[in-house]
Structure 1
Amino acid sequence: MIICKLVVRKIFGLASLIVLQSSVFAQTWEIGAGAGVCQYKGDVMPTYKPLIIRPGANTFVRMNYSRSVSFKAQAMIGKVHGDDKLVKTDPLHQSREYSFDANLIEGGGQIEYNFLNFRTSASRIVNNWTPYVFGGYGITIIDTKSQSKTDVNPSVFSPYSSNKNEQYISLGIGFKKQWQRKGKWNWGVEFGARRVNTDFLDNFGYYSDGTYPLNLPAGIVPSDAKFQYLIKYQIPNTKVRDMYYYTNFSISYLFYKVHCPNPPR
């Protein structure tokens, strides 16, 4: 009986220690918000152009699970823009004159790996800043409005709109820092790329079987020779799926509770 009691006490003590150590991290939560800019890369602009920007804003909840790993759930709204006229080195883009604007509403989660011991009591060395990398997954609602040439008169354009829900995978880097040495506020900067699960963020692209749609106005017969230049304009530039990017500056507030293993004397 005595041996059983000792075993039970040891098991209970070990379990208490595990729970205590886990709670140091599990009760470290942040809520925050950020603002920044969004960019696009796809059929209309095949190369990344960091200066073609539209506004974006986000809000998030972060759980600092351990000294190295954090989990973040966030929502973001933003816009992206693409225009053939901005691709000045390609004659096809200049003659096609296709352009679009898209509204984005995304929600998703990501896992962050901190390179340094950021704001932790579980290490002798504690840093009030750290760079990090992250990967994530989510859903984006995309509302795209585009226009393209549709008539023998080159000044006439046809509008085309679409609304779709798409999945995305994100990868990126970031930096976060404690606002004051003993404060509960953090600030951070983050850059992330989102690869969308479709090629039609810009209303322009390939299907999974390698075909592409013809967005021609009513009455135009594709076999008519005088409209062949319009068919040429329907050919997408790349089979790579569209991407968008979000760069933001954020501020967050940290909730935490210090657990003392022994009561004060």
Structure 2
Amino acid sequence: MPKFLLLIFLVFTTVTLRAQTWEIGAAAGGAGYMGDLNTNNPIKISGYVFGGFVKRNFNGYLSARLNANFGQVSAADSTSGSQQFRNRNLSFTTDLREVSLVAEFNFMNYIPDAGKNKYSPYIFLGIADTHYVPRTVYRGKTYDLRSLQTEGESIYPTSTISILYGAGFKYNITGKFTLGAELGYRNTNTDYLDDVSGNYADKSRQSLTAALLGDRSGEKTGVYIGSQGTQRGDLRPHDTYFFSQITISYTFVTQKCYFQ
């Protein structure tokens, strides 16, 4: 899938348009997710993200951007404000390796070091391919939850396609350097970023480790609530994650007519 995104990007960048420039940059910030262990806080940061991008600016308003990001999200029922979640007692950490292709639109005609506007808000829309593997820690040891099939499901894929959208603000700090801040959400096509989706499995058909990590409700009390077929996740079909990033970039002007 990353090769497919690269092909699309190359098609975009070979289109002949007036005032073309290249731009390269880096980004870093916080990451978070919305899913079965965080159902109602869309801005809760639970991890980190860093990465870089290459952008083709077709004019002062429209760009195509290829991103590579590395991030991590996590959650634990034990820290929840809900007693129901604390009783369930699940937890996870997921590393995210993302490649995305984004169309970006500036609300103001933004040309660093040349245009009259020193700043511009912008919006973006795109598609992302993300590799993910949820893990958890049990008695000091880290376990790959996907391979354990904790809900008795078929082994789900290690990557997901997402619709990416968001908004940001950029400012020409000096010369051709731009400093920006953006918030972008990814609506994935999986419900297993956190390894939680539907109902508790039949423990008699699972390995001992899968049964222990599929229902962790009794670790402190000795009373297990996860009987077969009862609800384990929030039953929503998809998880969402987001990156909140600070970006810095440098623009290479490739045509003198860019300033005209």
Q: Distance in 2 between matches of 1:101 and 1:119?
A: 40
Q: Distance in 1 between matches of 2:202 and 2:100?
A: 32
* Residue of structure 1 equivalent to 2:68: 75
Q: Distance in 2 between matches of 1:47 and 1:161?
A: 24
Instruction: Give the letter for the 2:201 counterpart.
Output: L
Partner of residue 23 from structure 1, selected from 3, 7, 18: 18
Q: Mind listing any 5+ residue stretches in structure 1 that lack a counterpart?
A: 1-20, 149-154, 207-211, 221-225
Deviation at 1:161, TM superposition (A): 2.1
* Residue of structure 1 equivalent to 2:12: none
Q: Distance in 2 between matches of 1:49 and 1:227?
A: 32
Q: Distance in 2 between matches of 1:260 and 1:49?
A: 43
Q: Does 1:195 align with 2:187?
A: yes
Contact residue 42 and residue 240 of structure 1 kept, 8 A: no
Cα distance per residue 1:122-173 (max 9 Å; x no partner): 9xx731210001111010000110368xxxxxx9x99452271111111100
Q: Distance in 2 between matches of 1:229 and 1:174?
A: 44
Q: Distance in 2 between matches of 1:137 and 1:103?
A: 19
Number of aligned pairs?
A: 218
* Residue of structure 1 equivalent to 2:160: 166
* Residue of structure 2 equivalent to 1:218: 207
Contact residue 109 and residue 136 of structure 1 kept, 8 A: yes
Change in 2 beyond 3 A, CA 1:65/1:121: farther
Cα distance per residue 1:186-214 (max 9 Å; x no partner): 111110011111111101114xxxxx562
Change in 2 beyond 3 A, CA 1:130/1:87: same
Instruction: Give the letter for the 1:31 counterpart.
Output: I
Change in 2 beyond 3 A, CA 1:110/1:215: farther
Q: Distance in 2 between matches of 1:43 and 1:215?
A: 20
Partner of residue 26 from structure 2, selected from 15, 25, 33: 33
Q: Mind listing any 5+ residue stretches in structure 2 that lack a counterpart?
A: 1-15, 147-156, 212-221
Contact residue 163 and residue 186 of structure 2 kept, 8 A: yes
Change in 2 beyond 3 A, CA 1:252/1:86: same
* Residue of structure 2 equivalent to 1:250: 247
Where do residues 62-211 of structure 1 align in structure 2 (5 Å cutoff)?
62-89=55-82, 91-119=83-111, 126-146=116-136, 159-162=143-146, 164-180=158-174, 183-206=175-198
Give the 3-state SS of the residue equivalent to 2:145 in structure 1. Answer: strand
* Residue of structure 2 equivalent to 1:10: none
The two structures, once aligned, show a CA RMSD in angstroms of 3.1
Q: Distance in 2 between matches of 1:147 and 1:205?
A: 19
Instruction: Give the letter for the 1:35 counterpart.
Output: A
Contact residue 98 and residue 147 of structure 1 kept, 8 A: no
Give the 3-state SS of the residue equivalent to 1:85 in structure 2. Answer: helix
Instruction: Give the letter for the 1:171 counterpart.
Output: Y
* Residue of structure 1 equivalent to 2:215: none
Q: Structure 1 vs Structure 2: percent identity of aligned residues?
A: 28
Give the TM-score normalised by the residue count of structure 2: 0.74
Contact residue 147 and residue 160 of structure 1 kept, 8 A: no
Give the 3-state SS of the residue equivalent to 1:231 in structure 2. Answer: coil
Deviation at 1:215, TM superposition (A): 7.6
Q: Distance in 1 between matches of 2:131 and 2:113?
A: 40
Instruction: Give the letter for the 1:116 counterpart.
Output: M
Partner of residue 231 from structure 1, selected from 211, 227, 232: 227
Q: Distance in 1 between matches of 2:159 and 2:200?
A: 19
